[in-house]
Structure 1
Amino acid sequence: MKKFIGNIILFCSIIITILYLLDYTITKGLRKTHFHTFNNLTKIYNSELNSDLIINGSSAAKFQLSPYLLDSILELNSYNLGMEGVGFIPQNLQSDLYLKYNKKPKIVLQILGDFELFRRDGLIGYMQFSPYLNMDEVKKVTKMYKGFSVLDYYIPFIRYYGSPFDIIDGFFSFFGLELRKPTGYKGYFEQDLKWNSAFDKFKKNYKDGRFIKMDPESMKLFEIYIAKCKKSKINIFFVYPPNYYEYNQYIKNQDEIISYYTKISKKYQVPFLNYSNNPLSLSKEYFYDSQHLNKKGAELFTKILSEDIKKIIEDSK
C-alpha cells in the first residue's frame, strides 16, 4: 500500500513538474511573440512602445484610426491600442500596463462609442491575457468576465489547453523563432471592405431599437482614468467617431450616452471631438457595417481628426 501511494505521489510530482515546465516555456514565449493576438501586450510588457500618442478604445479605434496618418500630420510617434469587442474596463487594464512598462505619452485619444461603458458578460479575445494571469491586476479584471475558468488561475498550463497554435507559437518563440508573423500597422488594422449585411441583421433583431445600459463600475473607473491622465499631465481627447446615420436612430439612449461624455469632458476640461453628425456618416461608401468605417472612410476620418487635434494644440500654445 505504501509503495502504491508512493508511486501515485511520484507520478503526480512528475506531471506537476511537466506542467510547470510547459507553462514556463509557453508563457515566456508568448510574452515575446508579435502575432497579432498577443502583439500589443508583448510590446507593452517589453517596453517596446514609448509612444508620443496612444489611441485607446475598442474596434472603433483598432479599425478606424491610422497611426501612419496621425504621425505624418501631427509629426509624432503614435500607436493604436484598440481592442476588438471590449468595453472600458479591459481598455483601462491595458492602459495601466502601458504606463507601468513604458514612458507616459504626451497625448491619449480615448475613442468612445455607445458600448464603451456597457459591460458584457464575456471577455472577447481573453486569450491575449493568458501569459499574464499571474499579475494581480490582470487576474482581477479577467475574473470579472466569462472566459478563463477557476482552474486556469491555479493549475499551470491548463489555460493554454485547447489552443494548440498558441502553444506551438509560444514554444518556438521561447527559442527566438516566431512562426506567426505580426499583421497590421502599429496596432491599426485597415478594413478594405464594402458594406455588408450586418446592419440588416441588427435591424431585424432590434426592430424597436436598443437601449444600452451604462455600467456604474465602468463609469466610476472611467472618471478615475481621466483624473489620472490629468494628474500625470497627459493631454487626453475624447473622440466619438461617426456611425452610419441610420444606425443612430436605433439606439434609444444615444443622446443620453453622448450627454454623459459631454458632462465628463466639461467636468475634467477634456476636449470632446464628437463626429456623430459628420458628413461621412451619410454614405455607406465609407463603412463596412453601421458602426465601423472601412479603409477609405477610416483614412478620411483620421485626416479630419488629426487636423482638428493639430488646431486645438496650436491654439492652446
Structure 2
Amino acid sequence: MKKFLIKLLVFGVVFFAADKLFYPLENISPTKEVDKRLEYLLQGKINQDILIFGSSRGARNIMAEEIEISTGLSAYNLSYPGSSIEFHEFLVRTALSNNKKPKLIILCVDNAMTFLPAPALNFRLDRLYPLVKYDAIVDELISRGEKNEYLSQFFYLHKLSKSNFDIQQKKFNAKDTISKLGSMPISFSDSKEKWKIDTLSVYDQKREEKVKVVAFEKIIAMCQKNKIPLVLVSPPLYDYQRDDFFKIVQSRTPKNVHYYVFDKSNPIYTNKDYFFDKTHLKRNGAELFSRELGKFVFKKLELQND
C-alpha cells in the first residue's frame, strides 16, 4: 500500500509538472486567430457608439460602414454566422462589462428561428476556446458546463481544447472576410441556391426553447438597466416573410424597444441579384438595406435626444 501511495504521489507530481508545459498554448492560440473581435471585447477595445449583434444575417446584411455614414456615429458589427441568441446575450454582456456603454444596440433577429430548435444556430464555443487565457472566457465555459471549476484552476490542460493545439495562422476566406468595422458582406451569389420559395407554415410557439427566450429577455433587461436604446432588426428575405413571428417578438418587448422591418415595397428585395442566397443579402443589397436602417436609427436617436 505504501509503495502504491508513493507511486501515486510521484505520478501526481510528474503530471502536475508536465501540465505546465501546456501553458504557452494559452497565449499562442489568440495570436493565430484571424477574427479578433471577441478578444477586442474582452480587452475593452470596442467602444463605438452603435454595436450590432446577430448571426449570419446580422454579419452579412448589416454593414457598419453604412450605419456610420447614415447616423454620423461610430459603429461596429459583432455578429457571428451560425450563432444563437444565447451567444448574442453573452456578447452583449461582455461588451457592457468591459467597454464603454454604447449609445445604441442593434440586434438582428432570425426570422423565424430565434427561439426554435435550430441546428445551424449555436453558442459559438469555437470562438471561446482560443481565448481561455482570459478568466471571463473560462468562467463562461464553466457556467455552461463545458469545464470544471476546480480542475480549471489547477490544470492548464483541462482548459484547452483541440483547437488550442492548432497553432497555424488562421486566414480569411472568400465568404467569411471581416471588414474593419466587423461586418462580413459577400460580393457573389451562391451558385447552388435554387431560389425556390418554401411553403409558409404556422409559427409553432410551443416548440420554442425556454433558454433562448430567457437569453432574449436578458438582452432587453441589460439595455433597459443601462438606458441603452435597442433596435430589433428583421433584414430582407428572398424567402417567405413571417409576420406572425414579428408579432410574437414585439409582444415580448417593452414599448420603448424599436423594431425595424425592411421596406417590403422596395422591388430590390424581390430581385435575387441582390441576394447571396434566400436568407442573406449580397453586398449591393446589404449596402442599400444598411442605409435604410441607418436612416431609421438616426431618426430614433433624434427622438431620444429631443
| TM-score, L = length of structure 1 | 0.78
Which residue is equivalent to 1:116?
Answer: 114
- Counterpart amino acid of residue 292 in structure 2: I
Counterpart among 224, 241, 251 of residue 218 in structure 2: 224
Measure how far apart 1:62 and its partner are: 1.1
Secondary structure in 1 aligned to 2:61? coil
Going from structure 1 to structure 2, the CA distance change for 1:5 and 1:120 (only over 3 Å counts) comes to farther
Number of paired residues? 290
Measure how far apart 1:294 and its partner are: 1.1
Task: Say if 2:259 is the partner of 1:272.
Answer: yes
Going from structure 1 to structure 2, the CA distance change for 1:261 and 1:98 (only over 3 Å counts) comes to same
8 Å CA contact retained: 1:238, 1:272: yes
Q: Structure 1, unaligned stretches of length 5 or more?
A: 170-178
Deviations 1:126-176 (A, max 9, x none): 221123485475136643xxxx5879x756435645336x5425xxxxxxx
Measure how far apart 1:258 and its partner are: 0.8
Going from structure 1 to structure 2, the CA distance change for 1:260 and 1:106 (only over 3 Å counts) comes to same
Which residue is equivalent to 2:19?
Answer: 19
8 Å CA contact retained: 2:48, 2:76: yes
Counterpart among 138, 146, 151 of residue 140 in structure 2: 138
Which residue is equivalent to 1:258?
Answer: 246
Distance across 1 between alignment mates of 2:18 and 2:122: 29
Deviations 1:91-118 (A, max 9, x none): 1011101111111100100111222222
- Counterpart amino acid of residue 16 in structure 2: I
- Counterpart amino acid of residue 313 in structure 1: L
8 Å CA contact retained: 2:87, 2:123: no
Measure how far apart 1:15 and its partner are: 2.9
Distance across 2 between alignment mates of 1:273 and 1:161: 40
Measure how far apart 1:201 and its partner are: 9.1
Measure how far apart 1:86 and its partner are: 2.0
Which residue is equivalent to 1:291?
Answer: 279
Task: Say if 2:182 is the partner of 1:187.
Answer: yes
Secondary structure in 2 aligned to 1:51? coil
Task: Say if 2:77 is the partner of 1:75.
Answer: no
Distance across 2 between alignment mates of 1:150 and 1:105: 34
- Once superposed, what is the RMSD of the aligned Cα atoms? 3.3
Secondary structure in 2 aligned to 1:296? helix
Which residue is equivalent to 1:106?
Answer: 103
Deviates more, 1:54-63 or 1:207-216: 207-216
| TM-score, L = length of structure 2 | 0.80
Q: Structure 2, unaligned stretches of length 5 or more?
A: none
The share of aligned pairs that are identical, in percent, is 21
Counterpart among 42, 47, 50 of residue 50 in structure 1: 47
Which residue is equivalent to 1:175?
Answer: none
Measure how far apart 1:295 and its partner are: 1.1
Going from structure 1 to structure 2, the CA distance change for 1:85 and 1:277 (only over 3 Å counts) comes to same
Distance across 1 between alignment mates of 2:5 and 2:225: 60
8 Å CA contact retained: 1:55, 1:81: yes
8 Å CA contact retained: 1:198, 1:289: yes
Measure how far apart 1:48 and its partner are: 1.0
Going from structure 1 to structure 2, the CA distance change for 1:229 and 1:199 (only over 3 Å counts) comes to farther
